Structure 1
């Protein structure tokens, strides 16, 4: 895609890392018109505010992707595992006239599901990715190895509880107890060799989305005057990693 391309897009899928979002918005702006549907597939939730500011809120849908992937050394995207699922949905009752046509086209793809309450799906995915990325980057290993440690397991339980309480505070419709129980089941059922993509990025010395994932929740904890010591430890570990990676010391 270049600015030499002709025409405008009916739908834009935003699947960048959070630290590339602003550049991606600038890249697609020449191709977006009043009826373009924008479906973000980023982890987290904070990007919705950014996209709502760049486009009309009625254009910006919610979306989540469940897929295990990573970058190869030469920059190619590698799909790991057999499963892949995308979910999307409207966040407002109104939508551009093109929405019906776009949704009809997407409905023909078996691995794409339309959802009535997509923001709930986004919060649940946010809960899961916050736990998995935080745990595997903090202990610098896979899920199975972490599960062998009683002390690490105790930390993960506290971390899950903190994150669930925070999400319920930000989005009261999300029940903390349900979030906790689901996250703990998912944690126990994961393949022992699983590592979050953030841990894989860390192992390669690449940038990580800690500000967008853990940082956003930590800022909300401060705003609501809630203690989040486990989240603080996870955030500090990732912040130090980024400082070392960038050589950013004074």
Structure 2
């Protein structure tokens, strides 16, 4: 009996990158995309430009519906999740591994795929789709982190077999918070100051310190102990020119993940009675610029 196909929902900057790399390794993988995008992928393939993996064209097939029984990688933006639930129910997937930003989406996925093995994972990468079928992988790294309970899934096995950097360990909450507590200050500061992270973190050091302290306290009260000093080290280790996708989306007027990132932080802060005035200030300002 053949193994279920891996279906990547969202053939954009992250999903398309993973699709090309899995296809290159010989994995049976398909991209799930809107009809126009699926036609382009089937005609042209997915072109990847990467200083780390090299330039290449992935000839993976594209479909408009999730194949029934597939192993599903959810690689869309967080705001696209409500539009995916019916498709997941129809597909009755064997597995679902989410790469969505934030911490509030897992219950939705488990309700949409009640019989599937569902796990929340994270990816650290700077990747941008510069055309319908062209992906620019800009960071010298691609790091996937999955909870210990997901180690034996077919998706994680495929990632490892493809030679991708995969870290396994911890609970799902620890994995999701490990990214959010790092991503949130990076995304909020770069977007607020309209600057790459190097300049943004130094523009107002007191603000940066306060935001990191608030994020660390929220995560700690939510069950994942976090140290603002360690967060500061991680933020300062980033390449000075690195930008966030939230920043890019705001500048282009696209839909954003402000609610999944900043909104989620504030909701957890209110739930635990943690004051977060500086995070509120940044989220409020970005929301006033028209960010959904």
Q: Do they superpose with TM above 0.5? A: yes
Mean Cα deviation higher: 83-92 or 45-54: 83-92
Q: Distance in 2 between matches of 1:194 and 1:184?
A: 16
What is the Cα deviation at residue 76 of structure 1? Answer: 4.3
Find the partner of 1:189 among 219, 237, 243: 237
Q: Which residue of 2 aligns with 1:204?
A: 252
Q: Quick one: distance in 2 between partners of 1:2 and 1:201?
A: 25
Measure how far apart 1:49 and its partner are.
Answer: 1.8
1:161-172 map, 5 Å: 161-171=213-223
Task: Give the direction of change, closer, same or farther, for the CA distance of 1:28–1:58 in structure 2 (3 Å limit).
Answer: closer
Residue 100 of structure 1 and its aligned partner are, at CA, apart by 5.5
With normalisation by structure 2, the TM-score equals 0.70
Q: Which of 128, 136, 158 is the matching residue for 1:70?
A: 128
What is the CA–CA distance in structure 2 between the aligned matches of 1:25 and 1:139, rounded to whole Å? 35
- Of 102, 108, 117, the residue aligned with 2:161 is 108
Query: Shift of residue 161 of structure 1?
Result: 0.3
Partner residue in 2 for 1:234? 282
Secondary structure at the aligned position of 1:87 is classed as: strand
Superposed, which structure 2 residues align to 1:168-179 within 5 Å? 168-171=220-223, 174-177=224-227
Is residue 225 from structure 1 mapped to residue 279 from structure 2 by the alignment?
Answer: no
The structural deviation recorded for 1:73 is 5.9
Provide the aligned length of Structure 1 versus Structure 2.
229
Work out whether residues 92 and 116 of structure 2, in 8 Å CA contact, stay in contact via their aligned partners in 1. no
In structure 1, C-alpha distance between the alignment counterparts of 2:192 and 2:67, rounded to whole Å: 47
The yes-or-no answer on 1:82 pairing with 2:140 is: yes
Corresponding position of 1:216: 264
Shift of 1:224: 2.1
Cα distance in 2 for partners of 1:19, 1:62 equals 16
* Structure 2 match to 1:128: 182
Q: SS at 1:83's partner residue? A: coil
- Gap regions ≥5 residues in structure 2: 1-62
1:87·1:118 contact (CA, 8 Å) conserved in 2?
no
Alignment match, 2:73: 13
Q: 1:38, CA displacement in angstroms?
A: 0.4
Structure 1 SS opposite 2:290: helix
**What is the TM-score when the length of structure 1 is the normalising length?**
0.81
| Displacement of 1:25 | 2.8
Runs of 4+ off more than 6 Å: none
Coordinate RMSD, CA, aligned:
2.5
Change (3 A) 1:57 1:175: farther
3-state SS, counterpart of residue 60 of structure 1: strand
Alignment of 1:155 onto 2:217: no
Q: CA deviation at 1:192?
A: 1.3
- Pairing 1:7-46 to 2, within 5 Å after superposition: 7-9=68-70, 11-33=71-93, 36-46=94-104
Structure 1 residue runs of 5 or longer lacking an equivalent are none
Cα distance in 2 for residues equivalent to 1:100 and 1:59: 8
Determine helix, strand or coil for the equivalent of 1:82.
Answer: coil
